[in-house]
Chain A
Amino acid sequence: KQEVTQIPAALSVPEGENLVLNCSFTDSAIYNLQWFRQDPGKGLTSLLLIQSSQREQTSGRLNASLDKSSGRSTLYIAASQPGDSATYLCAVKGLTNAGKSTFGDGTTLTVKP
Protein backbone atom coordinates (compact mmCIF):
# COMPACT_ATOMS: atom_id res chain seq x y z
CA LYS A 1 0.00 0.00 0.00
CA GLN A 2 1.37 3.38 -1.03
CA GLU A 3 2.10 5.77 1.82
CA VAL A 4 2.97 9.43 1.30
CA THR A 5 4.65 11.53 3.97
CA GLN A 6 5.25 15.26 3.99
CA ILE A 7 7.74 16.86 6.31
CA PRO A 8 7.58 19.30 7.96
CA ALA A 9 3.88 19.53 8.82
CA ALA A 10 4.22 23.30 9.23
CA LEU A 11 6.81 25.86 8.24
CA SER A 12 7.10 29.57 8.94
CA VAL A 13 9.60 31.73 7.05
CA PRO A 14 10.27 35.45 6.54
CA GLU A 15 9.36 36.99 3.20
CA GLY A 16 12.01 36.63 0.53
CA GLU A 17 13.44 33.36 1.78
CA ASN A 18 13.94 30.37 -0.51
CA LEU A 19 12.46 27.17 0.86
CA VAL A 20 12.06 23.46 0.18
CA LEU A 21 9.09 21.25 0.95
CA ASN A 22 9.57 17.50 1.08
CA CYS A 23 7.43 14.58 -0.01
CA SER A 24 8.36 10.92 0.32
CA PHE A 25 6.53 7.83 -0.90
CA THR A 26 7.00 4.14 -0.19
CA ASP A 27 6.22 2.51 -3.56
CA SER A 28 8.34 3.73 -6.48
CA ALA A 29 6.04 2.17 -9.10
CA ILE A 30 4.32 5.45 -9.91
CA TYR A 31 2.72 7.03 -12.94
CA ASN A 32 3.24 10.60 -11.82
CA LEU A 33 3.48 12.94 -8.86
CA GLN A 34 1.50 16.16 -8.59
CA TRP A 35 1.95 19.11 -6.25
CA PHE A 36 -1.10 21.10 -5.16
CA ARG A 37 -1.80 24.20 -3.18
CA GLN A 38 -4.82 24.48 -0.88
CA ASP A 39 -5.99 27.74 0.67
CA PRO A 40 -8.18 27.58 3.80
CA GLY A 41 -11.71 26.47 2.96
CA LYS A 42 -10.86 26.04 -0.71
CA GLY A 43 -10.27 23.23 -3.14
CA LEU A 44 -6.92 22.14 -4.55
CA THR A 45 -5.03 24.14 -7.15
CA SER A 46 -2.60 22.17 -9.30
CA LEU A 47 0.93 23.57 -9.26
CA LEU A 48 3.14 21.06 -11.05
CA LEU A 49 2.79 17.58 -12.51
CA ILE A 50 5.90 15.40 -12.91
CA GLN A 51 5.67 12.23 -14.97
CA SER A 52 7.61 9.21 -13.74
CA SER A 53 10.10 9.59 -16.59
CA GLN A 54 10.88 13.21 -15.68
CA ARG A 55 13.31 14.56 -13.11
CA GLU A 56 11.87 18.04 -12.60
CA GLN A 57 9.30 20.61 -13.64
CA THR A 58 9.39 24.38 -13.29
CA SER A 59 6.71 27.04 -13.23
CA GLY A 60 7.68 30.58 -12.34
CA ARG A 61 9.21 30.62 -8.84
CA LEU A 62 8.35 26.95 -8.31
CA ASN A 63 10.54 23.97 -9.12
CA ALA A 64 9.61 20.38 -8.35
CA SER A 65 12.03 17.49 -8.53
CA LEU A 66 11.41 13.77 -8.54
CA ASP A 67 13.77 10.96 -7.53
CA LYS A 68 11.65 7.90 -8.12
CA SER A 69 14.23 5.37 -7.02
CA SER A 70 14.57 6.92 -3.58
CA GLY A 71 10.88 7.74 -3.30
CA ARG A 72 11.32 11.47 -2.89
CA SER A 73 10.10 14.72 -4.36
CA THR A 74 10.86 18.27 -3.37
CA LEU A 75 9.05 21.51 -4.10
CA TYR A 76 11.38 24.50 -4.16
CA ILE A 77 9.86 27.96 -3.76
CA ALA A 78 12.13 30.87 -4.60
CA ALA A 79 11.83 34.34 -3.08
CA SER A 80 8.78 33.48 -0.98
CA GLN A 81 5.93 35.99 -0.65
CA PRO A 82 3.09 36.32 1.89
CA GLY A 83 0.71 35.24 -0.88
CA ASP A 84 2.46 31.86 -0.94
CA SER A 85 1.00 31.11 2.50
CA ALA A 86 -1.14 27.97 2.08
CA THR A 87 -1.04 24.21 2.57
CA TYR A 88 0.99 22.34 -0.02
CA LEU A 89 0.01 18.76 -0.83
CA CYS A 90 1.76 16.14 -2.91
CA ALA A 91 -0.12 13.29 -4.55
CA VAL A 92 1.25 10.12 -6.10
CA LYS A 93 -0.54 8.11 -8.78
CA GLY A 94 0.48 4.45 -8.80
CA LEU A 95 1.03 2.25 -11.83
CA THR A 96 -1.20 -0.54 -10.63
CA ASN A 97 -4.20 1.67 -10.01
CA ALA A 98 -4.04 4.68 -12.29
CA GLY A 99 -7.39 5.96 -11.16
CA LYS A 100 -6.26 6.63 -7.62
CA SER A 101 -3.92 9.22 -6.19
CA THR A 102 -2.49 8.91 -2.70
CA PHE A 103 -2.00 12.20 -0.89
CA GLY A 104 0.24 13.29 1.92
CA ASP A 105 -1.23 15.33 4.77
CA GLY A 106 0.44 18.49 3.52
CA THR A 107 2.85 21.15 4.73
CA THR A 108 1.25 24.36 5.97
CA LEU A 109 3.45 27.29 4.95
CA THR A 110 3.30 30.73 6.50
CA VAL A 111 5.35 33.52 4.91
CA LYS A 112 5.66 36.50 7.22
CA PRO A 113 5.92 40.01 5.75
Chain B
Amino acid sequence: GAGVSQSPRYKVAKRGQDVALRCDPISGHVSLFWYQQALGQGPEFLTYFQNEAQLDKSGLPSDRFFAERPEGSVSTLKIQRTQQEDSAVYLCASSLARTGDTEAFFGQGTRLTVV
Protein backbone atom coordinates (compact mmCIF):
# COMPACT_ATOMS: atom_id res chain seq x y z
CA GLY B 1 0.00 0.00 0.00
CA ALA B 2 0.92 3.64 -0.22
CA GLY B 3 1.27 4.23 3.50
CA VAL B 4 1.38 2.57 6.90
CA SER B 5 -1.93 0.87 7.62
CA GLN B 6 -3.23 0.04 11.09
CA SER B 7 -6.27 -1.98 12.11
CA PRO B 8 -8.64 -1.73 13.74
CA ARG B 9 -8.94 2.05 13.86
CA TYR B 10 -10.98 1.83 17.05
CA LYS B 11 -11.18 -0.90 19.67
CA VAL B 12 -13.28 -1.03 22.81
CA ALA B 13 -12.23 -3.76 25.23
CA LYS B 14 -13.62 -4.82 28.56
CA ARG B 15 -11.09 -4.76 31.36
CA GLY B 16 -9.30 -8.08 31.46
CA GLN B 17 -9.81 -8.82 27.78
CA ASP B 18 -6.89 -9.53 25.43
CA VAL B 19 -6.48 -7.35 22.31
CA ALA B 20 -4.34 -7.54 19.18
CA LEU B 21 -3.46 -4.49 17.09
CA ARG B 22 -2.13 -4.87 13.58
CA CYS B 23 0.33 -2.79 11.60
CA ASP B 24 1.09 -3.10 7.88
CA PRO B 25 4.23 -1.04 7.18
CA ILE B 26 5.18 0.49 3.86
CA SER B 27 6.39 -2.27 1.56
CA GLY B 28 10.16 -2.73 1.77
CA HIS B 29 10.60 -0.78 4.97
CA VAL B 30 13.10 -2.49 7.22
CA SER B 31 12.41 -0.70 10.49
CA LEU B 32 9.11 -0.73 12.37
CA PHE B 33 8.20 1.12 15.54
CA TRP B 34 5.31 1.09 18.01
CA TYR B 35 4.38 4.13 20.09
CA GLN B 36 1.69 4.81 22.68
CA GLN B 37 0.05 8.24 22.77
CA ALA B 38 -2.04 9.40 25.71
CA LEU B 39 -4.50 12.25 25.23
CA GLY B 40 -2.78 15.61 25.00
CA GLN B 41 0.73 14.15 25.06
CA GLY B 42 3.40 13.23 22.57
CA PRO B 43 3.91 9.60 21.54
CA GLU B 44 5.96 7.40 23.88
CA PHE B 45 8.24 4.72 22.45
CA LEU B 46 7.22 1.10 23.02
CA THR B 47 9.33 -1.14 20.81
CA TYR B 48 11.41 -1.34 17.61
CA PHE B 49 11.96 -4.03 14.99
CA GLN B 50 14.57 -4.33 12.31
CA ASN B 51 13.11 -6.87 9.90
CA GLU B 52 11.88 -9.68 12.18
CA ALA B 53 14.30 -8.93 15.01
CA GLN B 54 12.97 -7.02 17.99
CA LEU B 55 15.98 -4.86 18.84
CA ASP B 56 14.48 -2.73 21.57
CA LYS B 57 11.48 -3.40 23.77
CA SER B 58 12.50 -1.10 26.60
CA GLY B 59 9.35 0.99 26.30
CA LEU B 60 6.84 -1.80 26.83
CA PRO B 61 5.13 -0.84 30.11
CA SER B 62 4.64 -4.35 31.46
CA ASP B 63 4.86 -8.02 30.59
CA ARG B 64 1.23 -7.81 29.48
CA PHE B 65 2.48 -6.11 26.33
CA PHE B 66 3.96 -8.24 23.57
CA ALA B 67 4.91 -7.39 19.99
CA GLU B 68 5.98 -9.56 17.09
CA ARG B 69 6.94 -9.25 13.44
CA PRO B 70 7.53 -12.87 12.44
CA GLU B 71 8.19 -12.41 8.72
CA GLY B 72 9.71 -8.96 8.83
CA SER B 73 6.63 -7.25 7.44
CA VAL B 74 3.31 -7.12 9.30
CA SER B 75 3.54 -6.55 13.04
CA THR B 76 1.10 -7.25 15.84
CA LEU B 77 1.02 -5.59 19.24
CA LYS B 78 -0.79 -7.73 21.77
CA ILE B 79 -2.02 -6.56 25.14
CA GLN B 80 -3.13 -9.19 27.61
CA ARG B 81 -5.58 -8.63 30.46
CA THR B 82 -6.20 -5.01 29.47
CA GLN B 83 -6.41 -2.37 32.18
CA GLN B 84 -8.00 1.08 32.07
CA GLU B 85 -4.56 2.70 32.01
CA ASP B 86 -3.91 0.97 28.67
CA SER B 87 -6.48 3.28 27.03
CA ALA B 88 -4.54 5.32 24.47
CA VAL B 89 -3.82 5.65 20.79
CA TYR B 90 -1.28 3.10 19.57
CA LEU B 91 0.77 4.36 16.64
CA CYS B 92 2.88 2.31 14.28
CA ALA B 93 5.64 3.78 12.11
CA SER B 94 8.05 2.40 9.54
CA SER B 95 11.22 3.64 7.88
CA LEU B 96 13.24 2.44 4.96
CA ALA B 97 16.69 1.82 6.38
CA ARG B 98 18.34 0.05 9.27
CA THR B 99 20.14 3.21 10.29
CA GLY B 100 18.52 6.03 12.18
CA ASP B 101 18.85 8.64 9.50
CA THR B 102 15.74 7.96 7.44
CA GLU B 103 12.32 9.48 7.68
CA ALA B 104 9.68 7.70 9.76
CA PHE B 105 6.14 7.40 8.38
CA PHE B 106 3.25 6.90 10.75
CA GLY B 107 -0.07 5.15 10.43
CA GLN B 108 -3.42 6.59 11.53
CA GLY B 109 -3.25 4.75 14.84
CA THR B 110 -5.57 2.47 16.78
CA ARG B 111 -7.58 4.13 19.52
CA LEU B 112 -8.00 1.63 22.36
CA THR B 113 -10.59 2.28 25.04
CA VAL B 114 -10.72 -0.09 28.00
CA VAL B 115 -14.02 -0.02 29.89
Q: A residues touching B (Cβ–Cβ < 8 Å)?
A: 4, 31-32, 34, 36, 41-46, 49, 51, 89, 91, 93, 95, 97-106
For this complex, into which size category does the number of interface residues on chain B fall?
20 to 34
In the complex, which residues of chain B have a beta carbon less than 8 angstroms from the beta carbon of A97? 56
Which of A99, A104, A105 contacts B56 (CB under 8 A)? Answer: A99
A88 to chain B, nearest CB (A): 11
B47 to chain A, nearest CB (A): 9
> Is the pair A34, B33 in contact by a Cβ cutoff of 8 Å?
no
Stretch binding the partner chain, chosen from B61-69, B73-81, B98-106? B98-106
> CB-CB contacts of B23-37 with A at 8 A, as 1s and 0s?
000000001010100
Q: B residues touching A (Cβ–Cβ < 8 Å)?
A: 4, 6, 31, 33, 35, 40-45, 48, 50, 55-56, 58-59, 91, 93, 99-101, 103-109, 111
**Given A99-B50, A100-B59, A105-B40: A46 touches B45 (CB 8 Å cut-off):** no
Max chain A C-beta neighbours (<10 A), residue from B40, B42, B93, B105: B42
Q: Bound state CA distance, A66 and B4, in angstroms? A: 28
> Is the pair B104, A31 in contact by a Cβ cutoff of 8 Å?
no
In the complex, which residues of chain A have a beta carbon less than 8 angstroms from the beta carbon of B111? 41
Main secondary structure of the interface of A (DSSP, over half): strand
In the complex, which residues of chain B have a beta carbon less than 8 angstroms from the beta carbon of A93? 100
In the complex, which residues of chain B have a beta carbon less than 8 angstroms from the beta carbon of A4? 42
